[in-house]
Amino acid sequence: MSGKAVAAAVGVVALAPVALALPVVLMAAGNAQATCSSSTGVGTPVDSSAVDAEVKAILSGQSTGSTSVQGLDLPSVQIPNAQIIVQKGVELQMPARGQVIALATALQESGLQNLPGGDRDSVGLFQQRPSQGWGTAAQISQPAYAAGAFYQALLKVPGWQDLPVAEAAQAVQGSGFPDAYAKWEPLATALQQALVKTMGQSATPSPQPSGSGSPSPQPSGGGSPAPTKPAPAGACGSAPGGTDWGTIPPGVLPAGYQIPTDAPPAVQNAIRYALGQLGTPYQWGGSCTAAHGPDPMGRCDCSSLMQQSYAAAGVTISRTTYTQVNDGSPASLDALRPGDLLFMEGTPQAPEHVGMYIGDGLVVHAPHTGTVVSVSTLASWRPSVLAARRIVA
């Protein structure tokens, strides 16, 4: 779902069979940005430690706003966009090589900025063109959509994993500057490696469990069985020591709820931070470091809400649901404590959604795109819970 202005068909003719299967692969994404000078074909050396430090600083909200890394002139904008590209790659099970190609492409096409326009009708991180079949301008303007589109097109390129970065990118983009992508490979590689560290992911995602219908394996790191799903509860909206809260409007904390005073101080602080984000819009890939601010990437998705809530309490956990399900220790669904993380959707080994039990039969979470950070009843979650983890003993 990324494309560029039709180039002079250099290197594209050989991919004619691909065009028959996916014309979009050969569609140009628009001319490379003028700010991206012509490449010598040799990547500029990059200080990986400096990139790593900048990524950590930006994602933790501690960046000074300046960086010595060439190509990261606007790190507060570029790194969150790079994070979305890598996260989408992990979600789609793209190897590290594919993530590097995507990052190098976005660096060349937009400087890792979600541009509102460009050459002709080009839009977004990859400067994809609605007129060339990449989606609507609104869709392409969503970094996660744009990244997913790029990956899907890349997968249609025969032998893409064995191609040089520039050739693989060009096969998708059809740029008028086919060699320009090569110079970004070192920075793209450093960014990918730094970002997967913050996500707790390995450089190459593990395959998702197959949909065979057999029980999914239990998450590693605990060894104990998944929480047992109880028999149907007698009282809707109730939980251990809970209250029947009835229907809870999105973004609203039910009247009468109080943070449990017998919970550990760190848990109380984590809950306090999470509740402080109530009503803020969901943003996939958002850092949850400034959910009330104007930058959408400062808002929360489900796992960043958990990460930043515990960060506010001085507790470090990983970034994604795939890794948070291994943080802490296993917890029983029948003996939950405030602060426990609950996982649902997907599989026990690779859950897609997470929320925090806050006591009194309530769960705080960032549901999905188009919604706001909200509180739900544990009773509504119970039938779908795949795993529970205790972060603070």
Q: What is the pLDDT along the chain (393 residues), one digit of tens a residue?
A: 333 333 333 333 333 333 333 333 333 343 333 323 323 334 668 888 899 898 988 888 777 666 778 889 899 899 999 999 998 888 787 888 999 999 999 999 999 999 988 888 898 999 999 998 898 888 888 888 899 999 999 999 999 988 999 999 999 998 888 889 999 999 999 999 998 887 653 334 433 333 322 222 222 223 322 232 232 222 223 334 456 777 888 899 988 899 999 999 999 999 999 999 999 999 989 999 999 988 899 999 999 999 999 999 999 999 999 999 999 999 999 999 999 999 998 889 999 999 999 999 999 999 988 899 999 999 999 989 999 999 998
Three-class secondary structure of residue 300 per DSSP: strand
Among 15, 12, 4, which Cα is nearest to 132's? 4
Of 286, 293, 289, residue with least CA distance to 311: 289
pLDDT at 14: 36
Q: 303 in helix, strand or coil?
A: helix
Whether pTM > 0.75 for this model: the answer is no
Domains located in the chain, CATH noted:
13-199 (no CATH), 265-390 (3.90.1720.10)
Task: Tell me what pLDDT residue 44 has.
Answer: 66
Per-residue confidence (pLDDT) for residue 43, from 0 to 100: 60
Structure tokens at 204: 């190459």
Provide the pLDDT for residue 34. Answer: 30
Q: Torsion angle of alpha carbons 38, 42, 43, 44, nearest 10°?
A: -80
Looking at residue 196, its pLDDT comes to 84
Query: 3-state secondary structure string, 163-209?
Result: CCHHHHHHHHHCCCCCCHHHHHHHHHHHHHHHHHHHHCCCCCCCCCC
- Cβ atoms within 10 Å, residue 146: 31
Residue 306, burial from CB neighbour count under 10 angstroms (0-12, 13-18, 19+): buried
Distance CA 371, CA 13 (A): 45
User: How much is the pLDDT for 184?
Assistant: 94
Question: Which residue type sits at 280?
Answer: T
pLDDT of residue 243: 61
Predicted pLDDT at 241:
42
Q: Is 346 helix (H, G, I), strand (E, B) or coil?
A: strand
